Amino acid sequence: MRCARDGRRPGRPRRSWITALCAATTALVLGATTATASAADPAPTRAWVDRALDLQHHLADDVPLRDAPWLATHNSYNRPSLALATLDPNQTLDLTGQLDAGVRHLEIDVHPPLAPLPLLDQPATVCHTVCTLEQPLEARLTELTRWLDRHPAEVVLLYLESHLEGRGGTTGYDAGAAVLERTLGRRVLRPDGPPGTCRPMPLELTRAQILAAGRQLLLIGPCGVGARWSSWVFDEEPRITAGDNAALRDAPDCGPEITRVQYDAHPVRYYEDLTMLGAAAGTGHTRMSPALVARMLRCGVDIVGFDHLLRDDARRTAFVWSWAPGQPAAGDCAAQRPDGRWTTRPCTDALRAACRAADGRWSASPVALPAASAARGCREAGGTAVPRTGRDGHRLREAAAAAGDVWLGLRRAGDRWVPDERAGCGPTLTAPARRWRVRDGVARIRVGLRFACTGEPLRARFRVLGGRRSVLGTTGRTLRVRVGPRTRSLVVRVAADDAVHRLRVRLRR
């Protein structure tokens, strides 16, 4: 039997035992407290959380998988049904409901039917260790593909915890691979290499690259047995899973289980196990409070797997580390507040800018400028940038704590917000590539001073050397310089923006 999304069993007749079970599992979530927000912000709403999660997720589409953030569920398939194994469920929502709530990393355990009996000539099923009347793997994957077909711009990371070993050699895994081919097919970005090669999860790949290849799914898990399964599934081995949720210390420490070297080199996963079996076993995968979720994001935990995640869920709200409640509002430019939350601002406001250096260090520019000019404020610190992860957002918050609101390298593009990051720059002297013509002993010179990163001109006085005498002029205006008959070039010198700039201008007669 299934629970409706409000925690009740749909349809008639109703049975008290399953209704009570659904209500109890739902209550595990509804008792959570809400995430902290500024006193000036409106109360978070479901619509705002949906929107903020979507914008935040797609902003990281260009982040390599070693650092890409994923809102995940643990044992995503395990929800109340007729089957004995799901009387102790991990989830309340079905896969469609989880995906609609912003989940983009699903977990499915794959077993032979009636496992642990090795009936490998039957279709693979989804269940948790002991299988009874669970639905076949094909049904759950079909549900996933229908959702993907309705959302062609989305990428899902699917963890298949496969247990198809047994008699018959590769029979179980070959049958499972046939299910993957029938249901997922062209949507999967498959491993390359010789048949039977177990390829590790491609950590340099991005979600944007998966979409650009015309795919929407990446499968990870055990490599299994034989060549067919591993031709669909990448080895999960590069991923690191922590074992004690409550032990996680706040940034910048983020220990004791995972070191900073590991955070930077591997996808790091924390998850809940709120089943009765998990509680009895005393695992460290205890409930993650909203405060713990926020701590994980500050540390750079990449995969946060929830049990019984609902749409109106304080843990889901806590997963939003970027936009402030009610934001983005009207306007085309975005800034980060001192509390780390993002808001829209009039682009003409003068703010300091969020700058990121080549080594990843964040800072605030020393001068306040309009948004269109922000990049020239970052010339000594890399360029303008926008955080893609909760950890980067936290690092920018600490670096810019005394700067007030700072411009982000982010702009509105229709109904989306996209990175608008530019390398910092100082002014550059410019002049036409052709030589300047000399007539009657007079050269007419016109030079410009412009910020290449913003296109803005800068008016400044300059001096021309090499003629019959030194002459002063103004950038952007034509200057007449008397030259001798043997003069072949002049030097333009200007002091502007705390630097001295020189340009040699060649003459022709």
For the chain, give every domain's residue range.
16-31+54-318, 333-419, 427-508
Measured at the alpha carbon of residue 445, what is the angle toward residues 441 and 451, in degrees to the nearest 5? 165
* Comparison of pLDDT for 450 and 212, the residue scoring more: 212
By CB atoms closer than 10 A (0-12, 13-18, 19+), residue 188 is buried
Contacts of 372 (CB under 8 A, 6+ apart): 347, 454, 456
Q: In which band, very low, low, confident or very high, does the pLDDT at 127 lie, cut at 50, 70 and 90?
A: confident
**CA separation for the pair 395, 69 (Å, rounded):** 16
pLDDT for res 168: 62
pLDDT band at 458 (very low <50, low <70, confident <90, very high): confident
Least confident of 24-28, 49-53, 208-212, 483-487: 24-28
SS (HEC) of 91-113: CCCCHHHHHHCCCCEEEEEEECC
Beta bridge partners of 407: 335, 353
Residue 468 to residue 459: CA distance in whole angstroms: 25
- Say which residue, 80 or 413, is predicted with more confidence: 413
The pair of three-digit structure tokens given for residue 230, joined into one six-digit string: 């591993």
At residue 62, the pLDDT reads: 98
DSSP state of 491: E
State mean pLDDT over 121-147. 83
Residue 468 is classified by DSSP as S
Q: What distance in Å separates the CA atoms of residue 24 and residue 29, rounded to the nearest whole number?
A: 9
pLDDT at 16: 41
- The answer to which of 73-87, 244-258, 370-384 has the lowest mean pLDDT is 73-87
Could you please state the CATH topology (level 3) that the domain comprising 16-31+54-318 is classified under. Answer: TIM Barrel (3.20.20)
DSSP state of 34: P
Q: Containing H/E element for 298? A: helix 290-299
The pLDDT of residue 39 is: 57
**pLDDT classification of 11: cutoffs 50, 70, 90:** very low
Spell 202-211 as b/e; 16+ CB within 10 A means b.
beebbbebbb
User: Which has the closest alpha carbon to 240: 195, 277, 203?
Assistant: 203
CATH number 3.30.70 is the correct assignment for the domain at 427-508: no
Task: Check pLDDT > 70 for residue 256.
Answer: yes
Nearest to 423 by CA among 500, 356, 363, 370: 356
